[in-house]
Amino acid sequence: MPRPYARYGRGREHADAGVAGPGVWHGDPRRLHRPGAGRRLSGSTSQRRREDERVAEEHDLVVIGGGPAGYAAALYGAAAGLDVALVEESKLGGTCLHVGCIPAKELLETASVLRTVREAGAFGVEAGEPVVDLAVSQSRKQGVVDNLTKGLTGLLAGRKVTVHAGTGTLGVDHTVTVDGDEPAVLQAPHVVLATGSSPRTIPGFDVDGTLVVTSDELLSITEVPERVAVIGGGAIGCEFASLLADLGSAVTLLEAMPEILPGCDADAAKAVRRAFKKREIDVHVGVSVHGHDPSDGATTVRFGEDGAVEVDLVVVAVGRRPRGDAAGLVGTRVEVDERGFVEVDERLRTGEPGVYAVGDVVATPQLAHVGFAEGMFVVRDLLGEQPTPVDPATVPWCIYSHPEVAFAGMTEAAAREAGHDVVVSSHRFIGNGRAMIVGDTDGLVKLVAEKDPDGRAGRILGVHLVGPWVTEQLGQGYLAVNWEATVDEVAAFIQPHPTLSELFGETVLSLTGRSLHG
C-alpha cells in the first residue's frame, strides 16, 4: 500500500508523518512535480522570502554545479518528479565535457586513426605517410562537444530543470545565492554540492599556457610539439604521453612513484610501461622534478639526482584539486578537509542536514561515471528509498592510453594485504586470434580470485585488463566483481569467437583447473 502523501519540512525538523530522519522524504515525488521554472511550493514551502531585496525561488532540490555529478542529480531528481534548480558558473557538462573526458578521448581517437594509417601497409593498404592537421582535429572535437552540450541542455529543459548561470553560494537555511548576470536567491529542503575540481599544479612550474600547461590548455593545442615532458604518470599523464607520442612528439614521462599508474595492479602497470618503451616513450619512475630553466622558447626540466631533459612543452598532469570551498558554505555545518574535499558520510551527507556532496569534490574516485552514480544515489537517498551506497573499492576504471587499461576490484597486492588467500591467473593477448587480426597484441587479462578452503578458486576479487579496446570489455568483469560471482559461475559463460573478450573467458576457465588454449 502506498505511503500517505507527506510534504517536505523546512530545515532539520520534519513533523509530517512519513518522514524518517533529517532530510529524508517518503512521499510520492510525482505529487510534488509542477511544470514551470521556479514555481512556488504549497504549504510550508510556499512562503516567499527575501534576501537582499530579491524574491527567493522555492524548489525541492537545488544543485550547485553542472558537471556529470551535478547534472545527474538534477536530471534524476526531475525524473523522480522533483522541482529542481541547477546552478552552473561556467559551462553545462563541466570539466568532463569541455576540458576532460570527451575532448581528451576525441584527440586520442585522432591519434588512434593516425596510428592505424601508419600501420596500414601491414594489411596491404598503401596509404603513404599520413599527416595530422590538428586544426581539423580540434574542429571535430569541438563539434562533438557542442553536440553533447546541446543534447544536455535539451535534456534539462525537457525535464523542466531551472538552470541558473552564475556562481552558487550556499548559506544558512539552505539558501543558495546566485551571483551572475541574472542574480537570484534559491531555497530548497535539499541541496547538492557538485562544485568539481581543477588541475593541480606543482611548485617551480608556473602554468603560462604556452611553455607549461595543464590538461585544460593541452586539449586545445593546434601544433604538435617536437619534444614534451609529461610530469605525472597516473591515468591523465599516461593518456597524454600516449597521445603526444602517436602525434609524433618525443615524450619523456616523469613519475615520482616507483611505477607508473599507481593504484593499478603491478602486472598491468608493467605491461603498459613495456608497451611505452616499445613506442620510445622515455619513462622515468621514482623521480621528483625540481624545476625548469627556460631558454630560447624551450626549457630544461630537472629531475631525480642529476637528470635533465630539454623540451618544447611541459605538461603538468599530477591529478586534480577538489573545489570544496567553491560554494561559500559560510554559516553552514558543511566541513572541508585540508585537501579541499567536502567531508561526507557513506551516504554522501555533509554535516548540514539536507545537504549532500557528490563528484570530484568528495574523496571518492574522481571519475565521471562515479559522479553519475553518486548524483543518482543522493536523489534516491533523499527520497527515502534506502539505496546501497556507491562502493569506491569496486567501481570500474578505464585509462585510454595505448594500450588501454581497465580494471575493477582488488589488485593482487591489495587482496593479499586484506588477508585474502588468493589464486591468480593471467593470459596475454599475443595468443588471442582477434588481437592478431587487428594487429594489436600487447597486453594481458589478469584475474584475482579468493581461494576456497578446498583449494579451488572461488569468488572473483579483481579483474585487470591491458590491451586493445579493454575499456569496452570490462563490463563482464565489473559485473563479476560486484555480484561477487565465483570462478565456476563465470567460467560457464560462452564467449563469442573470434573476439578480444575470449581472453577474459580463457583466463577465468584456467582458474577452474582446466584450461582450453592456455
Asked if the domains at 57-90+147-198+322-393 and 212-318 fall in one CATH topology, the answer is: yes
Task: Give pTM, 2 decimals.
Answer: 0.89
Q: How far is CA 120 from CA 124, 232, 263, 402, in A?
A: 7, 32, 35, 17
Could you give the percent of the chain with pLDDT greater than 90? 88
Mean pLDDT of the 187-215 span: 98
CA 85/CA 457 separation, integer angstroms = 50
What per-residue confidence (pLDDT) applies to 53?
53
Answer whether residue 14 shows pLDDT above 80.
Answer: no
CATH of domain 403-510: 3.30.390.30
CATH of domain 212-318: 3.50.50.60
CA 394/CA 461 separation, integer angstroms = 9
Confidence of residue 515 (pLDDT cuts 50, 70, 90): confident
Q: pLDDT tens digits, residue range 41-92? A: 333 343 344 444 568 899 999 999 999 999 999 999 999 999 999 999 999 9
User: E strands of 232-297, at which residues?
Assistant: 250-255, 282-285, 289-295
Joined grid coordinates for residue 499: 573476439
Q: pLDDT tens digits, residue range 147-156? A: 999 999 999 9
Q: Minimum mean pLDDT among 3-17, 379-393, 466-480: which range?
A: 3-17
CA 300/CA 503 separation, integer angstroms = 44
CA 213/CA 235 separation, integer angstroms = 17
Q: Minimum mean pLDDT among 23-37, 82-96, 398-412, 422-436: which range?
A: 23-37
Q: Annotated catalytic residue: which of 26, 190, 290, 497?
A: 497
Q: Please, are residues 390 and 364 in contact by the beta-carbon 8 Å criterion?
A: yes
Confidence of residue 482 (pLDDT cuts 50, 70, 90): very high
CA 191/CA 154 separation, integer angstroms = 23
Cis amide bond preceding 498, omega within 30: yes
Give the position of cell 556532496: 357
Q: Please, are residues 45 and 8 in contact by the beta-carbon 8 Å criterion?
A: yes
Confidence of residue 196 (pLDDT cuts 50, 70, 90): very high
Q: Please, are residues 248 and 117 in contact by the beta-carbon 8 Å criterion?
A: no
What per-residue confidence (pLDDT) applies to 32?
40
Joined grid coordinates for residue 509: 576457465
Does residue 204 come out as left (phi exceeding 0), alpha (psi in the -120 to 50 range) or beta? left
Is 497 one of the annotated active-site residues of the chain?
Answer: yes
Answer whether residue 31 shows pLDDT above 70.
Answer: no
Q: pLDDT tens digits, residue range 312-340? A: 999 999 999 999 999 999 999 999 999 99
Alpha carbon 107 to its chain centroid, in Å, reads 17
CA 380/CA 377 separation, integer angstroms = 5
What per-residue confidence (pLDDT) applies to 19?
31
CA 227/CA 430 separation, integer angstroms = 31
Homologous superfamily in CATH for domain 57-90+147-198+322-393: FAD/NAD(P)-binding domain (3.50.50.60)
Residues forming a β-bridge with 162:
85
Mean pLDDT of the 468-495 span: 97
CA 397/CA 394 separation, integer angstroms = 9
Answer whether residue 35 shows pLDDT above 60.
Answer: no
Phi/psi at 113 (5° precision): -65, -40
Rg (CA), the chain: 25
Burial 148-170 (b: 16+ CB within 10 A, else e): bbeebeeebeebebbbbbbbbbb
Q: Please, are residues 507 and 464 in contact by the beta-carbon 8 Å criterion?
A: no
What per-residue confidence (pLDDT) applies to 12?
27
Mean pLDDT of the 118-130 span: 95
Q: Please, are residues 6 and 28 in contact by the beta-carbon 8 Å criterion?
A: no
* 3-state secondary structure (DSSP) of residue 73: helix
Alpha helices in 461-501 (DSSP H): 474-482, 487-491
Residues 398/403/407/410 CA torsion (nearest 10 deg):
-130
Show me where the domains of the chain are located: 57-90+147-198+322-393, 95-142, 212-318, 403-510
User: E strands of 52-101, at which residues?
Assistant: 54-58, 61-64, 84-88
What per-residue confidence (pLDDT) applies to 496?
97
What per-residue confidence (pLDDT) applies to 488?
97
What per-residue confidence (pLDDT) applies to 517?
82
Give the position of cell 606543482: 202
CA 282/CA 280 separation, integer angstroms = 6
Q: Which amino acid is at 376?
A: M
CA 33/CA 79 separation, integer angstroms = 9
Q: Please, are residues 58 and 45 in contact by the beta-carbon 8 Å criterion?
A: yes
Mean pLDDT of the 33-41 span: 35
Joined grid coordinates for residue 136: 581539423
What per-residue confidence (pLDDT) applies to 20?
34
Give the position of cell 630539454: 310
Q: Angle 68-79/134-158 helices, nearest 10 degrees? A: 30
